[in-house]
């Protein structure tokens, strides 16, 4: 029975999907390296995995009409966020900046003139993601813009990557507590509920740091004192949104 459960576990299904992806598509070396690096096993400890906390700042939600403005990320290794390896990069010549998003992220066209090319930034992110689980807060934006990049740059379908979403983790926690009164799942609001400090600035790097810290707090709430093997983690396996 356990063997059957393991076979149909979403993580093992993702492993088989990666194998099919590499067989069915002509992928460049960087994508091949990313998808051929082994995924965690079901018996691995969630706390011991290598993660990359990621945040995208964009001018909107539709990558076909909006622009990716900046990318921020930092590794989470051995339950420690590695600030010395944190990265935030502006995207060169991004278009469609909107006043309402500029108010939030303070990114204006003049700043983007000093940015880096879109492909260089995204390929660097893909290289950093090798062997890591991606942490995001609300995966819709990051997945849409990453999928768009993969389709436009490489003419490939969405990559079968392994994500964890702190937004969904928090929602599942409230469902378990039967707390239907809470409807504010913004990153700052959730952090406040878990007594994490408020960050006055807003941007890709700050939000990736805030998301990584929240993930560590949620991990302890969900798994401390219980079986924390990977088989019990609710990863986000969806790709196309």
Q: Give the pLDDT mean for 23-49.
A: 97
Q: Give the pLDDT mean for 64-86.
A: 95
End-to-end CA distance of the chain: 33
Q: What is each CA distance from 85 to 92, 135, 207, 209, in whole angstroms?
A: 22, 16, 15, 11
Q: Count of CB atoms within 10 A of residue 138's CB?
A: 16
Cβ-Cβ contacts under 8 Å for 170 (sequence gap 6 or more) = 185, 190, 218
Q: Which helix (H) or strand (E) holds 55?
A: strand 51-58
What does the alpha-carbon distance between residue 30 and residue 172 come to, in Å, rounded to a whole number?
35
Tell me the whole-structure pTM to 2 decimals: 0.91
Q: Give residue 15's pLDDT.
A: 96
Per-residue pLDDT reduced to its tens digit, 110-121: 565 678 999 999
Per-residue pLDDT reduced to its tens digit, 175-212: 756 565 567 899 999 999 999 999 977 889 999 999 99
Q: Give me the domains of the chain, ranges plus CATH numbers.
A: 2-232 (3.30.420.10)
8 Å CB contact between 230 and 46: yes
Q: Count of CB atoms within 10 A of residue 47's CB?
A: 13
Per-residue pLDDT reduced to its tens digit, 84-108: 999 999 998 656 555 455 445 555 5
Query: What token pair was written down for 172?
Result: 């599942």
- How does DSSP classify residue 84? G
**Is the pLDDT higher at 101 or at 15?**
15
Mean pLDDT of the residues in the chain: 88
């Amino acid at each position: 029975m356990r063997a059957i459960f393991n076979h149909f576990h979403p993580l093992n299904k993702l492993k088989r999907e990666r194998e099919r992806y590499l067989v069915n598509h002509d992928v460049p070396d960087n994508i091949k390296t990313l998808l051929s690096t082994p995924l965690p096993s079901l018996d691995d400890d969630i706390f011991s995995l290598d993660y990359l906390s990621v945040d995208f700042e964009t001018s909107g939600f539709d990558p076909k009409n909006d622009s990716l403005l900046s990318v921020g990320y930092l590794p989470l290794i051995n339950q420690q966020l590695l600030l010395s390896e944190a990265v935030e990069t502006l995207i060169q010549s991004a278009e469609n900046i909107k006043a309402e998003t500029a108010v939030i992220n303070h990114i204006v066209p003049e700043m983007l003139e000093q940015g880096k090319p879109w492909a260089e930034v995204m390929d660097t992110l893909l290289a950093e993601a090798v062997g890591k689980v991606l942490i995001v807060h609300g995966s819709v934006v990051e997945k849409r813009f990453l999928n768009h990049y993969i389709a436009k740059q490489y003419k490939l379908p969405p990559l079968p990557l392994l994500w964890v979403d702190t937004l969904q983790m928090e929602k599942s926690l409230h469902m378990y507590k039967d707390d239907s009164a809470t409807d504010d799942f913004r990153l700052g609001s959730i952090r406040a509920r878990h007594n994490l400090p408020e960050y006055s600035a807003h941007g890709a790097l700050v939000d990736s740091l805030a998301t990584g810290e929240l993930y560590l707090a949620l991990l302890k709430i969900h798994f401390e004192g219980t079986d924390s093997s990977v088989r019990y983690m609710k990863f986000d396996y969806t790709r196309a949104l």
